[in-house]
Amino acid sequence: MKAFNLSHGVLVLAATVLAGCAPVPIETRKPEPAFYPPPPQPPRIQHLATFSGERDFAPSSGGFAQFILGEDRTSQRLERPYGVAMFEGKLYVADSRAPGLAVFDLTHKRFALVTGSGQGRMKRPINVTIDGDGTKYVTDTGRDQILVYDRNERFVAAFGAASRFKPVDIAIAGERLYVADLLHHEVHVLDKRSGEPLFKFGKAGSKPGELFQPTNLAIGPDGDVYVVETGNFRVQRFTAEGQPVRVYGEIGNAPGTFARPKGIALDRAGRLYVGDAAFQNVQIFDGDGKLLLFFGQPGAGAEGLTLPAGVTIDYDNVHLFRPYANPRFALEYVILVASQFGPNKVDVFGFGKMSGVDYPPDEKPAAKPAR
């Protein structure tokens, strides 16, 4: 990815900072597919699809039907999503205004809203993380707990007592849950089966090892823990045991800096994808913190992002999105981005290569720092 030309990116990013966060109108025309970086550079990312509600699976009504039946005001639509995840052909979206998990069944073209019941009823779900066996961990800031559901969305348990933490995001590593605590500026590590605390790390501050407003987490290919500090305008990397390794980024309005970072994901090559709600895009860094590319921008286009929050990378459900891709664009994985405002609620981007196009050798991920 060394050959990416950032000159276009600098202009777009500067315009993004000045554009603000105003919602954009919904467009009805079908736009041309958006690629990043733009031509004539070799494309690596294509915008594939947008999911915003139940109508994404409903056939469009003609003008006569709308005149006779009137507008359908009962269809369910995402209101303010934050976290997004995929499992076995289903797209799960944590919607803090629903409240519950919106479920887009991409295989059977169905939409459902899972709210839980009894002790498992959600109040203000912010994020959802899904384990390999289908167990879902939902951070609920209305309950200040982690709610656990099985692969069939049946309630299993609630982790966390009152005032223990304000969980925003969870990352799973083996038998551990890493929990971002927005209130106490810490990361809690729990046993994922019982919810019992194992240890925690971080404290309020801006020095290495300190945290301020940690919001989102990701686990790297080597097991390191990446923490987005929205209040410190950076990403901090820790070992699995909570020892600080390095810091990525700083406050600014230029490419490679942050204004309001939130979502984060890592691909299998160790590249970091960091969403920024102020820039309204997602920046990609290598393991050394070098900016490689960014994609998405505010505006009325199909790929427009408005206050992007959750970012997730998925390798297992790529086949469901190949019909959306250019026939010559070979998808390797998809990137899911949830926006809290605007017409687009969950945008799906594909990472890959275009056949017949010469690409420079991909950069190798940076070597793991000595400890």
Residue 23's CB is within 10 A of a number of other CB atoms, namely: 13
Per residue in 344-355, pLDDT (tens digit) is 999 999 999 999
**Which residue type occupies 248?**
Y
Per residue in 117-134, pLDDT (tens digit) is 999 999 999 999 999 999
Per residue in 258-292, pLDDT (tens digit) is 999 999 999 999 999 999 999 999 999 999 999 99
pLDDT(71) > 70 = no
pLDDT-based confidence at 8, cuts 50/70/90? Answer: very low
pLDDT of amino acid 333: 98
Per residue in 154-195, pLDDT (tens digit) is 999 999 987 789 999 999 999 999 999 999 999 999 999 999
- For residues 193-213, give the mean pLDDT: 97
- Report the distance separating Cα 109 and Cα 61, nearest Å: 17
The reported pTM is: 0.86
pLDDT of amino acid 28: 37
pLDDT of amino acid 299: 65
pLDDT of amino acid 348: 96
Ordered DSSP codes for 150-183: -TTS-EEEEE--TTS--EEEEEEETTEEEEEETT
pLDDT of amino acid 207: 97
Q: Which residues contact 118 (CB under 8 A, 6 or more apart)?
A: 155
- Residue with more model confidence, 9 or 135: 135
pLDDT-based confidence at 64, cuts 50/70/90? Answer: very low
- Report the distance separating Cα 237 and Cα 115, nearest Å: 34
- Report the distance separating Cα 119 and Cα 148, nearest Å: 11
- Report the distance separating Cα 21 and Cα 306, nearest Å: 6
Kindly calculate the radius of gyration of the chain based on its CA atoms and give it in whole angstroms: 20
pLDDT of amino acid 306: 92
- For residues 293-300, give the mean pLDDT: 80
Domains of the chain in start order, with CATH, are 7-57+73-354 (2.120.10.30)
pLDDT of amino acid 22: 40
DSSP letter at 198 equals E
- For residues 207-219, give the mean pLDDT: 98
- Report the distance separating Cα 327 and Cα 103, nearest Å: 28
pLDDT(231) > 50 = yes
Residue 109's CB is within 10 A of a number of other CB atoms, namely: 10
pLDDT of amino acid 68: 41
In this prediction, what percent of the chain has a pLDDT beyond 70? 83
- Report the distance separating Cα 35 and Cα 251, nearest Å: 27
**DSSP H helical segments within the chain, as ranges?**
7-19, 63-69
- Among residues 27, 26, 37, the alpha carbon closest in space to that of 4 is found at 37
pLDDT-based confidence at 31, cuts 50/70/90? Answer: low
DSSP letter at 110 equals E
- Report the distance separating Cα 298 and Cα 277, nearest Å: 10
pLDDT of amino acid 300: 57
Q: Which residues are bridge partners to 186 per DSSP?
A: 181
- For residues 104-110, give the mean pLDDT: 96
Q: Where are the beta strands (DSSP E) in 240-304?
A: 244-248, 261-266, 272-276, 281-285, 291-295
Q: Strand, helix or coil at 338? A: strand
